[in-house]
Amino acid sequence: MLTLKLAYRNILRQRRRSLLTAFSMAGGYMLFVFSMSLLEGSWSNVVDIFTLDHTGHIQIHKDDYAKRAKIHKTIEDPKAIESTLKNQAAVTGWAPRVYSAALAYGGSKTAPAKIFGIDPTLEPTVTRILKKVSEGEYFSSQPNPDGYFPAMIGRGLANTLKLGVGDEIVLISSGADGSIANDIFSITAIIGNTTSFDRLGVFLPISAAQEFLAMGGDVHEYALLARNKHDNEQLAADLQKLLPGLTVSPWQQIEATFYRTMQSDKQGNYFTMALIVFIVFIGVLNTVLMSVLERTREFGVLKSIGCRPSELIKLIFIETVMLASISITAGLALILPVIIWFTEVGIKLDISVDMGGVVFDTMKGEFSAYVIFMPMGFMLLTAALISLPPGLRAARILPRVALGSH
């Protein structure tokens, strides 16, 4: 208790110096937190683009379908999977899908295409497909009066074949049974833009795609949406135990290259932010060393009356960490409203960014315990470390030399 009182008194002794030091540490903490919020928020936005655009948080396949897609690698009992998923509170949505390469014909032109068989009702519970409809209307599972099933096609394919809403498109593909599949579909909507992953896609109701590809009731994939996107890897591991005959993969495995790039970028930014904080604390170190030099006589008196060197190290340690704690608390009080506003409202971009048909026009941060407390812990640890050199210097002061120098 006495050490705390001494530390507090010493901080107040040089108020101007302590205030300037506190300002620099508070500013460093605020910059660290804001940068963390911006970094985590930006990457979280990009992850949402990947996962909510198509991937989902988790995917379920037969064997290694995700790496080597073959039309015959199907999930043969979808109802059993859906029965399992219904009992998982951590899963908020799922959507079955089928895929196939195809040749598309429209007007007088042909082009390669990829068939996406999706459930018109379940797909919007996992992805933002409704927001990607740029022309026309989202489809249903019902054929039109002419008996043609509806189709939504990518913007790139529409431009290549010069097709629009209301036109018909012919698809030719290989059925799961080895037969040649060909049929006519009626275009009800144009999806995405010319840069989105599905720019050459043809979306069909899953029942129509299964019939077209002679797949019966089989599907190639289930895409899942997790209640907490940060827990998707653990959820995938739990589901894998419940579905031993299938492969359950989190998006971090599905988009492994992107995930490694994201982690590398984060680590680089963390290093930069840590370097900035370190530079701030170099100034703090100089301040504490100056304080020790000015208090040489005081430390000499303390040692002459029996104060142990370890107690002087402890005193400098408490002074530095106390000043850092006060600074961080003040910085937190100032930056917290900014982070909340940045997370909820964000900064309006001058130029909107079109990511695969989903438009982002606001930059937002992230507000989480990690964003607040990771910088706090790092700065307190740094403060503790930089207190050691001044503390050791104070501990080595000889009472005879200290008292004889004044």
Query: So what's the pLDDT on residue 227?
Result: 92
Counting Cβ atoms within 10 Å, is residue 33 exposed (0-12), middle (13-18) or buried (19+)? buried
Give tens-digit pLDDT for 108-159: 899 999 999 999 999 999 998 998 898 999 998 888 888 899 999 999 999 9
What mean pLDDT is predicted for residues 264-278? 83
**CA–CA distance, 145 with 151 (Å, rounded to integer):** 14
The residue ranking higher by pLDDT, 398 or 330, is 330
Query: So what's the pLDDT on residue 354?
Result: 61
What's 124's DSSP letter?
G
**CA–CA distance, 216 with 51 (Å, rounded to integer):** 28
Query: So what's the pLDDT on residue 360?
Result: 64
What mean pLDDT is predicted for residues 256-261? 84
Residue 35 predicted with pLDDT over 60: yes
Copy the structure tokens of residue 191.
Answer: 């999806």
What mean pLDDT is predicted for residues 72-79? 86
Least confident among 40-44, 280-284, 342-346 = 280-284
- By DSSP bridging, strand 58-61 and strand 221-226 are antiparallel
**CA–CA distance, 296 with 400 (Å, rounded to integer):** 11
Give tens-digit pLDDT for 326-343: 889 999 999 999 999 888
How much of the chain exceeds pLDDT 90, in percent? 34
Among 313, 364, 336, 295, CA closest to 44: 364
Query: So what's the pLDDT on residue 250?
Result: 93
Query: So what's the pLDDT on residue 261?
Result: 84
Query: So what's the pLDDT on residue 352?
Result: 64
